[in-house]
Amino acid sequence: MDNHAGIVPELHCSDFGASLVFYTSVCGFAIDYTRNEERFAYLRRGDARLMIEQTRDPSRRFVAAELTYPFGRGMNLEFAQHLGHRQCNA
């Protein structure tokens, strides 16, 4: 695992299992490591890195405001992949 990614966004999700399937099966990310008991995964695809988390522990939530669905409103992430073309709209 290469730990020298320029930036790694951490996304909160409402359904960890469904999000993990989406990012791995649909978007083509691979799992570098996961902490299932904490509902956390560190994902990679080429040079892109991404963390997803569905925490139940309020002390592990690093948010500046109340989380309301859908999470990530107003945020756009673009991942460049040069080894082939697969479009993923998250």
Q: What is the CATH number of the domain that holds 3?
A: 3.10.180.10
Which residues span the domain enclosing 68? 1-57+64-85
| pLDDT confidence tier of residue 3, bands split at 50, 70 and 90 | low
pLDDT recorded at residue 58:
67
81 located within any domain: yes
Residue 74 lies in a domain: yes
Q: Convert the pLDDT of each residue in 7-33 to its tens digit.
A: 888 888 889 999 999 999 998 999 999
In a domain, 77, yes or no: yes
Q: Mind listing the pLDDT tens digit for each residue in 29-64?
A: 999 999 988 899 999 988 889 999 997 776 666 666
Q: How many helices (H) and strands (E) does the chain have?
A: 1, 4
Reported pTM: 0.70
Residue 1: inside a domain, yes or no? yes
Rounded to whole angstroms, the Cα distance separating 6 from 74 reads 22
**Two tokens, residue 17:** 């299992």
34-64 per-residue burial string, b: 16 or more CB within 10 A, e: under 16: eeeeebbbbbbbeebbbebbbeeeeeeeeee
Q: Decide if 90 is inside a domain.
A: no
Domain count for the chain: 1
Structure tokens at 80: 């460049």
